Structure 1
């Protein structure tokens, strides 16, 4: 409608004087433009819901989806204006205040920045906004510290602290393969190939890969599986009935 409006004004400008042209513009605005049905504005929460649904369709895990939701919800609670009007300066101030209020390090703030940037980039790709306010906010550089390598003595102390076959098998499998805890808890018994001493793990983005474990891990895994009386397909389960699949938090608690 706006394009046609301009075209009509331009054509009539050749035959009407200034006052007549102004009156024509007023009449058209009154009878045409003002009568157009106004589009319902999409709320920030609706944009977030659409973003999370898109991420779910891309194959992001429930844990990642939850992280996105919490991060963006905190932003939207702080910046109450519509996301279409959020500026780069506001985002810089938000990240600075977030670090001060939560007393967190640069790595944590950069994770927050990356999640928020993903949200605004999606809004831009879907044409909900013209330009992401995060474009000019670059990666926050943090100091890279050399992590301590676990020693053979530490591994033996961990084994000595185990009170069941499951925990010994779990520690040896983690140590010999180097897989993530999240990958460990997703393993099923059918993923283990004892003859080749290998297992199939699903990492981030459901990417499948093969990893290999040593002979000690094989022995401990076999002993653990033989001791089980449940029919759960999971490789590692809780000790108490109904012997549910272990969660990441459960493994971390046992390791501590």
Structure 2
């Protein structure tokens, strides 16, 4: 800064007297020091700006709410302006959160990722010089093999259905692997029965085609033939006025089917994981499974797909013995 001031004073010396040069030096020093100071921050305003940016990027209201709650809790717990928050502050916060709440490693790492996103945004927008989360590494989480549905269990769920709607829901989830949120947003006009495909609205408001089998086509045809309402939704409530099913409706119905058929704990996401696992097991390229499921990153697909260990053994004998 001093070098810049001296350079300007040297250039202006032939044009100004001593008093004017002195005033110019004072003015330049004050202006440059002001520019070096970080902008005054209001935590609530900065958080609101960050959430607006995430909304523009296409994050869902549910994700925005999760970000807000997580960051508000962190802000209160750390009790420092964002410009003064250090890596040690955030490490202590994560450690205390895990101990006091008995949180799992996955939850703690989710909080770390949200804080990383927030402070990286503050850095990009010049509110902080450097994100303190840069020095906090990813939390190592145990890789737990999650259960998938067997062919027998899927058949039991089919047999347990007492109405055509539930059977059509089971078939749609089993053959497409779509998210339950995508399922309930489907309209009748989104479904091309002849081509056995439909267009769903996935995360980030991204549309993608998904495909179903002939059995699903028959079940949907049977279900729609019994419909005599004007509701545009593909799947509607059975009692009272026809209304679009909610995520909670679907989850409750499938959970109930799991109990009545002795399949055990069943939820819509289990169908998605089952489809991914079977697709990989039967040799579908992982990139195509990624497209099928609508994952932005292939790492997410790999976490869903647990390759059958028997096939790994068979491949070992085929290629390595």
- TM class by smaller structure: 0.7 to 0.9
Secondary structure of 2:209's aligned partner: strand
Report the CA distance shift for 1:73/1:241 in structure 2 as closer, same or farther (over 3 A): farther
Q: Choose 166-175 or 182-191, whichever is displaced more.
A: 182-191
Give CA deviations for 1:25-70 in whole Å, capped at 9, x if unaligned. 9xx69xx88xx9x998332111111111111111111111111111
Give CA deviations for 1:79-106 in whole Å, capped at 9, x if unaligned. 2211111110011111111111221211
Corresponding residue for 1:233?
232
Give CA deviations for 1:129-165 in whole Å, capped at 9, x if unaligned. 1111111112112111222220122112222333322
Report the CA distance shift for 1:243/1:80 in structure 2 as closer, same or farther (over 3 A): farther
Report the CA distance shift for 1:154/1:91 in structure 2 as closer, same or farther (over 3 A): same
Secondary structure of 1:201's aligned partner: strand
Corresponding residue for 1:48?
47
How many residues align structurally? 238
CA drift of 1:237 comes to 2.3
Corresponding residue for 1:171?
170
Work out the CA distance in 1 between the residues paired with 2:237 and 2:100: 38
Q: Is the contact made by 2:39 and 2:127 (CA closer than 8 Å) also made in structure 1?
A: no
Work out the CA distance in 2 between the residues paired with 1:93 and 1:185: 41
Work out the CA distance in 1 between the residues paired with 2:113 and 2:39: 30
Work out the CA distance in 1 between the residues paired with 2:160 and 2:243: 23
Report the CA distance shift for 1:143/1:226 in structure 2 as closer, same or farther (over 3 A): same
Work out the CA distance in 2 between the residues paired with 1:111 and 1:64: 12
Work out the CA distance in 2 between the residues paired with 1:230 and 1:112: 45
Task: Point out the structure with the larger helix share.
Answer: 2
Structure 1 residues without counterparts, runs of 5 or longer: 13-23
Secondary structure of 1:135's aligned partner: helix
Give CA deviations for 1:159-216 in whole Å, capped at 9, x if unaligned. 2333322211111100011111122122121111111111112222223222211112
Corresponding residue for 2:67?
68
Q: Is the contact made by 2:200 and 2:209 (CA closer than 8 Å) also made in structure 1?
A: yes
CA drift of 1:228 comes to 2.3
Corresponding residue for 1:88?
87
CA drift of 1:11 comes to 5.6
Q: Does 1:217 align with 2:216?
A: yes
CA drift of 1:235 comes to 1.6
Q: Does 1:7 align with 2:5?
A: yes
Report the CA distance shift for 1:113/1:40 in structure 2 as closer, same or farther (over 3 A): closer
Work out the CA distance in 2 between the residues paired with 1:239 and 1:119: 44
Q: Is the contact made by 2:98 and 2:104 (CA closer than 8 Å) also made in structure 1?
A: yes
Q: Is the contact made by 2:71 and 2:115 (CA closer than 8 Å) also made in structure 1?
A: yes
Q: Is the contact made by 2:185 and 2:233 (CA closer than 8 Å) also made in structure 1?
A: yes
Report the aligned-residue RMSD. Answer: 2.9
TM-score, normalization: structure 1?
A: 0.82
Report the CA distance shift for 1:131/1:241 in structure 2 as closer, same or farther (over 3 A): farther
Aligned positions of 1:1-256 closer than 5 A: 7=5, 41-256=40-255
